[in-house]
Structure 1
């Protein structure tokens, strides 16, 4: 395979596929790429669900850098995103998703993305109902079974 580089337009450099993979690995593992990817993900998440007051991050330096860069260049000084590094909070979220992951591991062979979305949403709703986080005001004082059937009939 031959490749022409921008800084060497007259020369054609020949390299094997493994060298190409090494170069790609170096590119995708670079700090700049990871920070840009984290920033793009953060922008998409904020656009979809609103601006958070605080974000809890583990040891991911790319996420920390992306949040700091957003605070520095794109956020008003009066309303920056607070960055917290609390391992306990991340563990709570992971433990909460463990039951959902266990139920979904059985049925990983979804036929379409539409059916996967519907099934995952249903499993999460049932999990939230049993935790008492249904968010449906008229169903708060009822049993989990009646909350579930109330949602089914809506």
Structure 2
């Protein structure tokens, strides 16, 4: 989920999308975020609406064990060289490409190979519509 703002609505969409796309056994017990108050409001709204289990603990820790923020720093380092983006469309396309290539390099894309010998090629074709 990519948003130009960092408000409660975008945090609600981001967290809701994550929780909708996980299986029952994949639902986390703890969610670590940075200290932005929008995540707390979004999680409490998701719990009120029944879209998030009530027993999920929310920890607001700036860096400790926050995989998203650690990964985000590496992405920002790559993007800083591009001097920003002109539109959300170009930002989305560029970040999508960078993330796919990083997933391939880290070996995280093996679940998308579908048993095909040229799995990486198939994944790139599927993501970029080639």
- State the TM bucket, normalised to the shorter chain: 0.5 to 0.7
1:102 aligns with 2:71: no
The answer to whether the 8 Å contact 2:16/2:46 transfers is no
1:82 is aligned to 2:56: yes
> For the Cα contact (< 8 Å) 1:67–1:83, is it kept in 2?
no
Could you list the per-position Cα deviations for residues 2-25 of structure 1 after superposition, in whole angstroms to 9, with x for gaps in the alignment?
A: xxxxxxxxxxxxxxxxxxxxxxxx
Aligned to 1:12: none
Structure 2 Cα separation of the partners of residues 139 and 123 of structure 1: 24
Q: Give the structure with the larger helix fraction.
A: 1
The worse-fitting range, judged by mean Cα deviation, of 58-67 and 105-114 is 58-67
Q: Which has the higher contact order (CA 8 A, sep 6+)?
A: 2
Q: Deviations over 1:21-52 (max 9, x none)?
A: xxxxxxxxxxxxxxxx53x3343224434345
Unaligned runs of 5+ in 2: 1-6, 21-26
| Preserved CA contact (<8 Å) 1:110 1:116 | yes
Give me the CA root mean square deviation: 3.6
User: Structure 1 residue 56 and structure 2 residue 32: aligned?
Assistant: yes
Q: SS of the residue aligned with 2:65?
A: helix
The 1:59/1:140 distance shift into structure 2, 3 A limit, reads farther
- The equivalent position to 2:93 in structure 1, one of 118, 128, 132, is 118
Q: Decide which structure has greater strand share.
A: 1
- How many residue pairs were aligned? 110
TM-score (norm 2): 0.57
TM-score (structure 1 length as normaliser)? 0.50
Q: Structure 1: give runs of 5+ residues left out of the alignment.
A: 1-36
Q: Which has the larger radius of gyration?
A: 1
Contact 1:57/1:83, CA 8 A, preserved across alignment: no
Q: Distance in 1 between matches of 2:45 and 2:124?
A: 44
